[in-house]
Amino acid sequence: MGRAFLVVIDSVGIGGAPDAGDFFNGDLPDTGANTLGHIAQSCAAGEAEEGRSGPLVLPHLDRLGLGAALTLASGMEAPGLGATPEGRWGAATEVSQGKDTPSGHWELAGLPVPWAWQYFPDETPAFPADLTEEVARLAGTDGILGNCHASGTAIIERLGAAHCESGWPICYTSADSVFQIAAHEETFGLDRLLKLCEDIAPRLHEMKVGRVIARPFTGEPGAFQRTANRRDYAIMPPKPVLTNWVQNAGGRVYAVGKIGDIFTMQGIDELRKGPDAKLMEHLHDLVEEAEDGSLTFANFVEFDSLYGHRRDVSGYARALEWFDTEIGKVIAALREGDMLVVTADHGNDPTWAGSDHTRERVPVLVAGTGAGELGQIGFADVAALVAGHLGVEVPA
């Protein structure tokens, strides 16, 4: 029996979402956003020259059908992309009413989100008074800092010194359904931060806030740095998903990256974490080690967290080219009967206004099972593709 590797390149959208006009970055709708297409255009125009140069070069992904999927999704023919596909390829459209991590991943795993997420208003204060009082009580402080929409790096730079002096946690949100708490690992304490997030998460999950995110940082004023000890406390999926299907059928399930957090470890046997470079090492190892009938479900988050939200086109292009080189090695190491699926969970166009995700279709690229067009499919069809390959029954 073969194995399946489902790899999410976080936020690598390909435009064309039919309902993009219903989603906004500030006052600008997401209509026309195209993460991959606009990065390729910027590279070809010489506008992404930091740490790299010239047109976007993604030969392995393009041979799987990346350029073809981009054109299918949005009509765009991007410079440097458009090779004749040698894999199975298509473009997936989301039905869940969100452009965030849980919405995308749950639906990719076969479960469209069955409710509307709670979002906090873009105003100050952003949070209800009774919620902030509860956070302060659990933290053992007289109050919180922030209480607004913010970029994580910017708010740490702005309020980090006050946090270290007062001991009050920094609480902020974004256009996503999230409640984020930043705290210094030494002056506040990492374990204390994680305990605070764990304790307040049930209250926020009752409100249908998708995630509580611990955002630890270190350093001194003027030189604060977020660490790799981020932890997501996500609301639990209300029904079994792909990981459960495979595990219940007797297959082993490996989670790489933040997959364990997204699915609250439901249906997961083993978790491997780290920055993206380390996650790629884990993926290479699992291609060598994972047993027959297993599912490896991986997320590479730094496209989104380091480059999309920061609107760093050059950095995003560098990350894509690095990933393309590495995934080429993964493809070459697949065994006969293996399936590799590369997809995404939403967009985050670094050329777009604002700093939030963008509502887009995503590529679905399949190696190991021949060539051919999948066409326009749904996010949940990705779960069905993987389940079918592993011989796992898809619940009604």
Sheet arrangement for strand 295-300: 270-272, 253-256, 295-300, 4-9, 339-343, 362-367, 88-93, 372-378
Sign of the alpha-carbon torsion through 212, 216, 220, 222: negative
The answer to whether 346 is annotated as binding is yes
Sequence-ordered list of residues with C-beta below 8 angstroms from that of 22, at least 6 positions apart, any chain = 29, 359
d(Cα 378, Cα 364) in Å, to the nearest integer?
A: 10
Q: Say which residue the tokens 């749950």 belong to.
A: 106
What is the token pair recorded at 274? 């780290």
The answer to whether 10 is annotated as binding is yes
Amino acid at 6: L
Residue 216: φ, ψ to 5°: -75, 150
**CA geometry: angle at 318 spanning 315 and 323, to 5°?**
125
CB burial of residue 48 (10 Å; 0-12, 13-18, 19+): buried
The answer to whether 304 is annotated as binding is yes
What is the token pair recorded at 301? 């988050």
β-sheet bridge partners, residue 255:
271, 297
List own/partner pairs for 230-233 with CB under 8 A and 24 or more apart. Answer: 231/194, 231/197, 231/261, 232/101, 232/258, 232/261, 232/262, 233/197, 233/198, 233/201, 233/261
Nearest alpha carbon to residue 39 among 303, 333, 297, 265: 303
As a whole number of Å, the CA-based R_g of the chain is: 20
Query: Any alpha helices (H) in 9-58, and if so which ranges?
Result: 35-44
What is the token pair recorded at 294? 């297993």
Judge whether 322 and 306 are in contact, CB under 8 Å. no
Judge whether 270 and 252 are in contact, CB under 8 Å. yes
Q: Binding site: which residues?
A: 10, 304, 309, 345-346, 357
Q: Which residues are annotated as a binding site for Mn(2+)?
A: 10, 304, 309, 345-346, 357
